[in-house]
Structure 1
Amino acid sequence: MTAIDSSLPPQEPDAISAGTTATTAVQGRGRIPWRFLGNRALFYLFTLWAAITINFFVPRMMKGDAVDQYLARNRNVSPEAAEALRALLGLDTDKSLLQQYFEYWNLLLHGDLGVSLLHGLRPVTEVISQALPWTVGLVGFATLVAFAIGTIGGAIVGWRRGSRLDALIPITTFLSTIPYFWLGLLAIALFSVNLGWFPIGKAYGVGVTPEWSFEFIGEVIHHGFLPAATIIIASLGGWMLGMRNMMLTVLDEDYVMVAQAKGMPNDRVLWRYAARNAVLPQIQSFALSLGFIVGGTIVMEMVFSYPGVGKLLLDATNAKDYALMQGVFLVITLSVLLANLLADVAYAFLDPRTRQTEA
């Protein structure tokens, strides 16, 4: 036997035995894409700074302010009291916009969103915290149900293309084209006025004190069923149409044909191969919907007199209550950015191409 020369450089491993780049990416499928997530986090931090800056300057470019609106409703306020109110709200003219901007950031970092003149100088955080659960509970639940039904239904319709199920697409699309306020008014006229099945509006009955009891929860569900149903009907068509179109694209891919050629059960091919890849674009849209849940549906809350964040924002805008407007916009911005960040994380784990790009 010949001895192995130790002076020779180590040989490169065979490319086939070591695996290609794609094989290495598949083998490292469980690795967390830190670079991708870090880049997205930096992008969202910059977006948050820009949104907060715009949120500060835009209301101050409007004509008049909250004190002017308050003085128009209360003629007996002295000039000294008006100046004190402006100083309390951070609207005093003795400070420049840049000074007010830095003070706003200082208060914001300490969790102080100011006080609302519209609500009797109550803290903005307290006002928003009372309206936020109603919007998240109603609009959030309706959005989740609409997304689940539309995505599953669209996947089934796309899988069985050419069948009678295709009739669901134009029906749901037509319902989505109806203006929401008109759909809500029709629902109130039919189910509340004529049939008397549901209350006309509000989150609970007049004179009822909110409490954690089965009676109160049942009343909240009874009052919220009609607005939730109209939200689901109005948004179902978009989810179903989008998922159905993506299914038609995915079904022509090679991996779906190979899975069917191997004799895999249709249910497994549908849910583990076709629907799993077709749902990826839906995630971004769903993230945006989750973010805008906090903003609420202003039209819905106006039609059904629902005490949510959307109506709160509309009242604050009409009264030019800067502190309340900025607080609501900040909550909406944070919710949208957080929802998009979570969607990017989910996308990175569901789509191997994201991890392969980092590798």
Structure 2
Amino acid sequence: MRYFVSRVMFFVLTLWAAVTLNFIIPRLQPGDPAQSMVARLAGQNEAIDPATIRAVRLMLGLPNGSVFSQYGDYLVAVLHGDFGVSYTYFPYTVTHMIGQALPWTIVLVGVTHVLGFVIGTLLGAAAAWKRNGPFDTVVSLGSTFLGTLPFFWIALILIYLLAFTLRWFPESGGYSGEIEPSLSLAFLGDAAYHSALPALSLLITAPIGWILGMRNNMVHTLGEDYTRLAEAKGLPTRRVALAYSARVAILPNVTGFAMGLGTILGGTVLVEMIFGYPGMGKLMFDAIANRDYPLMQTIFLFTTIGVLLANLAADILYGVLDPRVRRETQA
């Protein structure tokens, strides 16, 4: 019990530190969002009236006063779920913009992340169990080769072959402009059709880390005394592989999977920019490019909370799967 309580307390402390850093870091960046917005609207060669900048600052609700008062106001706003108005997409609120982009990222990155973990873990375990054989050679060498290929190169090759040459899939966008976004089967099918290429580009490289990590971990656990004892007792091969070797070997992968699952809320900037996908990655890129502090802060905060929650879940699951962790904490 002490192990789980310590994990929760560590989560709360880390969350407070993350919220504080999330407030400080954007304010260390140079530039004025209001001035950038006025310059973008007026043009590069046009003179900028200081009164216009002051009016835009008031319209956007940019923070005034000391840093400490801004920090207090920020904490109160976060507790109430009020993240302000987006400077880039004014007059829409930050919550509205994230609500529009988050489902796209969760579906695309979440599904591919889970599939990549399952496929990679199973292939890695099978390669370790049949180590030094043809299957192990093909899986290991194939994963190593694919891991050397730049992701953007794979994405561009898929666009050229499957979108421009064969015209099997659209080259960009999340859905067709002729279909109104809704929960209808027509829209969901169209959205799945548009997400096929981004998902395929992610799935080509997503299992690689899980394959190599699971294989190496399981090769190590196969040489442990408890695995040899299980084999000497005459237990079925499948039970030895899954219940004794793979159960321990998968623990590092579980931690990595949980942390990767938490980063889903931040999206995948490169994927979404290449394919013009309307997710959190593109939203983050626009926020950084336009010094949109409220939108930047909220996306970073959501990503951080997602990683911390996923890490907490991994710690708890780690303690459930491996009793030695709980005993070390109680000792």
Aligned-residue RMSD, C-alpha: 1.6
- Whether contact under 8 Å (1:294, 1:331) holds in the other structure is yes
Aligned with 1:293 (options 240, 264, 278): 264
Q: Is residue 224 of structure 2 the alignment partner of residue 253 of structure 1?
A: yes
Give the % identical residues.
Answer: 45
- Whether contact under 8 Å (1:173, 1:238) holds in the other structure is no
Aligned position for 1:339 = 310
Q: Is residue 84 of structure 2 the alignment partner of residue 117 of structure 1?
A: no
Aligned with 1:128 (options 72, 76, 98): 98
Can you list the C-alpha shifts for 1:247-301, whole angstroms capped at 9, x where unaligned?
1100001111111111111111111111111101111110111011111111000
Aligned position for 2:57 = 86
Equivalent position SS for 2:296 = helix
Can you list the C-alpha shifts for 1:22-51, whole angstroms capped at 9, x where unaligned?
xxxxxxxxxxxx311221112121211111
Residues 184-199 of structure 1: pairs in structure 2 closer than 5 A: 184-199=155-170
Aligned with 2:68 (options 98, 106, 120): 98
- Whether contact under 8 Å (1:176, 1:235) holds in the other structure is no
Q: Is residue 319 of structure 2 the alignment partner of residue 348 of structure 1?
A: yes
Aligned position for 1:64 = 31
Cα separation, 1, equivalents of 2:48 and 2:8:
48
Say how many residue pairs are matched. Answer: 325
Q: Is residue 153 of structure 2 the alignment partner of residue 182 of structure 1?
A: yes
Residues 207-356 of structure 1: pairs in structure 2 closer than 5 A: 207-356=178-327
Unaligned runs of 5+ in 2: none
Cα separation, 2, equivalents of 1:117 and 1:262:
67
Can you list the C-alpha shifts for 1:301-335, whole angstroms capped at 9, x where unaligned?
01110001011001010000111111111111111
- Whether contact under 8 Å (2:112, 2:206) holds in the other structure is no
Cα separation, 2, equivalents of 1:351 and 1:283:
12
Q: Give the structure with the larger helix fraction.
A: 2
Please give the TM-score of this superposition, normalised by the length of structure 2. Answer: 0.94
1:336 corresponds to which letter in structure 2? Answer: V
Equivalent position SS for 1:112 = coil
User: How far has the Cα of 1:73 moved from its partner?
Assistant: 1.8
Cα separation, 2, equivalents of 1:134 and 1:92:
31
Report the structure number with the largest CA radius of gyration: 1
1:200 corresponds to which letter in structure 2? Answer: E
Cα separation, 2, equivalents of 1:61 and 1:357:
41
Q: Is residue 16 of structure 2 the alignment partner of residue 49 of structure 1?
A: yes
- Whether contact under 8 Å (1:301, 1:311) holds in the other structure is yes
- Whether contact under 8 Å (1:90, 1:100) holds in the other structure is no
Residues 155-166 of structure 1: pairs in structure 2 closer than 5 A: 155-166=125-136
